[in-house]
Amino acid sequence: MADLAGKLGLIVGVANKRSISWAIAQAAAAAGARIALTYPSERLEENVRELAAKLENPLVLPCDVTKDEDLAALAASLDREFGGLDFLVHGVAFAQAAELSSPFVQTSREGFRVALDVSAYSLISLARVAAPLMEKRGGGSILTLTYLGSQRVFPNYNVMGVAKAALEASVRYLASDLGARNIRVNAISAGPIKTLAASGISGFSSILQVYRERAPLKRNVELAEVADAAMFLLGAGSRAVTGEILLVDAGYHIVGL
């Protein structure tokens, strides 16, 4: 386990106790980091605060990643409360339900815009406000979450696969852009996990079964395993790693048939 004692981290995308972002938040807190969590709306505030109460001395802040004024306010609050930032975990993704149930060719212009804005552009906008805070601490680590649907076709993943492809390209460009400031940018591509977001994808149980049958390890991955990989990418052990997409999927991605 990485040693994150004294580190200051922002984790965006914690929605419920089954989310990957929450597993990472718990692991980072257990490793000694102080954590700030965000909530996008009043409807989700109570749930995020309830989870944050399980952490030691957490900071809970509002932030709708589609609003520049919220991002500016978030940066100001972090500067005031933390005085800097060591790491950022970006776990935000969203596509309208209709875009995940209709044929991909029927993707609407608005559905495409929303998916790309929330799921991909938000990494860029968050990196932009986090970078000055990380420079105050001598550098930092930015981590996002993606999926193999960025490279291969999965049933009903549709526009989210396109958004994840854009997200992964953004990781590479941000890594190149921010490297001179000692800021690393990486992503974890986890195997399918029964999160609330995954439940919105029709046929998700079948995807889980295929992974169990075909992955070299003959099983699905667990939240704790993804969180452990995140600790590596957030900690000093990965200080020379940037621009990478780390596959944590029991080896499924290497299999042809």
Name which of 210, 206, 163 is nearest 187 in CA terms: 163
- Ranges of beta strands (E only) in the chain are 8-12, 34-39, 59-62, 87-90, 140-146, 183-190, 245-248
State the average pLDDT over residues 28-36. 98
CA gyration radius for the chain?
A: 17
82-137 residue pLDDT tens: 999 999 999 999 999 999 999 999 999 999 999 999 999 999 999 999 999 999 99
Among residues 39, 121, 157, 252, which one is catalytic? 157
Of 68-72, 103-107, 192-196, 251-255, the poorest mean pLDDT is in 192-196
pLDDT at res. 257: 85
| pLDDT for the residue 203 | 77
Provide the token pair at 98.
């209709």
What's the rounded Cα separation, in Å, for the pair 194 and 221? 10
Whether 1 has a pLDDT exceeding 70, the answer reads no
pLDDT, tens digit, 9 for 90 and up, residues 6-30: 999 999 999 899 999 999 999 999 9
pLDDT at position 241 over 80 = yes
Reported as a pLDDT band with limits 50, 70 and 90, residue 194 is confident
d(CA 147, CA 153): 11
Q: Does 121 qualify as catalytic in the annotation?
A: no
Q: In what order do the strands lie in the sheet with 59-62?
A: 59-62, 34-39, 8-12, 87-90, 140-146, 183-190, 245-248
Structural domains present in the chain: 8-254 (3.40.50.720)
Catalytic member of 39, 121, 147, 173:
147
211 in active site: no
